[in-house]
Amino acid sequence: MKMLFGVSSVGLGHVNRSYLIANEVRKQQPKVRIDWVCGEPALTFFKGKEERILNVSNKLKSLSEFIEKLYVNGRIRYNLIDLLKEIKTIKRNYELISQSVDINNYDLIVCDEFWEILLSDFLKCKRCKPSVVWITDFVNIPYSLTPSQFLFTLLGNKYLKNRIEMFDSHIFIGHEKDLPSKKWFILCGERINDWAKRFFLFTGLFPGFDTDNLPGKGELREKLGFESNEKVIVATIGGTRIGKDLLESVAATYPLLREKYKVRIILVCGPRLRPEELKVNRYVEKFGYVPDLYRLFAASDCVITQAGLGTITELMVLGIPSIIIPIEGHYEQIERAEKLRDVENMLIIRRKEITIKKLANQISRVLNHPKKLYVKRYFNGAKLAAKTIVNLAASH
């Protein structure tokens, strides 16, 4: 049995969860062969892992670049011209893939928000070809009150809905309650959550690591060289360059915090921002891409991050006190952060509200009241997703 996993090149969350699902697929179907097609930063994630990465992956343009270019003066600003350019890039990526890979050689294709397949003609002309699975954590674009944006969103939602329905199977990383009960087209059409229930398997949220094999906090701190009396603060921005300003703001709190604590600030730049680009205090540590970042989270006293789904899920599972600062203009992150406001010891700050003094005070608040977050028990959603994938491949 041969499967092709196509993974979004926006951030690291998609590849992290897809890798976990793929490993569960191997447990259920040991003879399966899995190939991967993806761009950066997913390629960085796979370094050191024994996976079959298709050569064409090195030619694909990263969609993270698109999001990064939209980030201007502290927020993401969408516009139609840039979006049309990005659609052209996505279609060009698919052309490169179709020229290099015989997709019909596979028994199944798994797409984790892999827009190259969603926007391609492959879905339209698919007859007696591989079954295709769509994995996602969102299904619609919230409507804007701006007339031009409203029209764009209306057309975008119609296109997105129609395209998603073309897939053979659908997996939603999350719960039914995560979806809005609003109608697809404001005043008409089916309610979004009712529509999703007809198409999607809901896996719930799950972290990108095995919780049963995680060492205790004391053991992790000892391995990482942290002293028992120092306060370790970790700031991370995920898999894109967006957040350089946030990391520098965290670093700027060092003089204020060291007056109260023996403090250690660690900045994690991720795969696309070089540590040397940061202008920070020489006492602040900075790293690029850190594999198995959850271990660093688990050993820390406070984590400061944007509102990426994968990072938020890991922090909730680990129970680490956190400060969440969503990217302005990123509707998914804003909505996700707002839902966390009632979670004890998980503080939400909007970017526009940040000053160095306020950020230092909020960090102190977390360090002074280190109550562990309520750790929600997660069932193995990756195993459930893998079962769906294996069963679909076997029936093809």
Residue 292 — left, alpha, or beta (φ > 0 → left; ψ -120 to 50 → alpha)? left
**What's the pLDDT at 151?**
79
In this structure, which topology does domain 2-206+380-395 adopt according to CATH? Rossmann fold (3.40.50)
Measured CA to CA, the distance from residue 75 to residue 327 in angstroms comes to: 6
Please list the residue range(s) of the chain that carry CATH number 3.40.50.2000. Answer: 2-206+380-395, 211-368
pLDDT, mean of residues 106-120: 96
289, 309 Cβ separation under 8 angstroms: no
> pLDDT tens for residues 136-154?
999 998 877 677 677 778 8
> pLDDT tens for residues 183-209?
877 767 889 999 999 999 999 999 888
> What is the chain's mean pLDDT, rounded?
91
* Domain 211-368 top-level CATH class: alpha beta
Distance of CA 245 to the CA centre of its chain: 20
> pLDDT tens for residues 369-382?
766 555 555 668 99
> pLDDT tens for residues 48-63?
999 999 999 999 999 9
Measured CA to CA, the distance from residue 120 to residue 104 in angstroms comes to: 15
pLDDT, mean of residues 274-287: 95
Q: Of 59, 60, 45, which is closest to residue 114 (Cα–Cα)?
A: 60
At position 232, the amino acid (one-letter code) is V
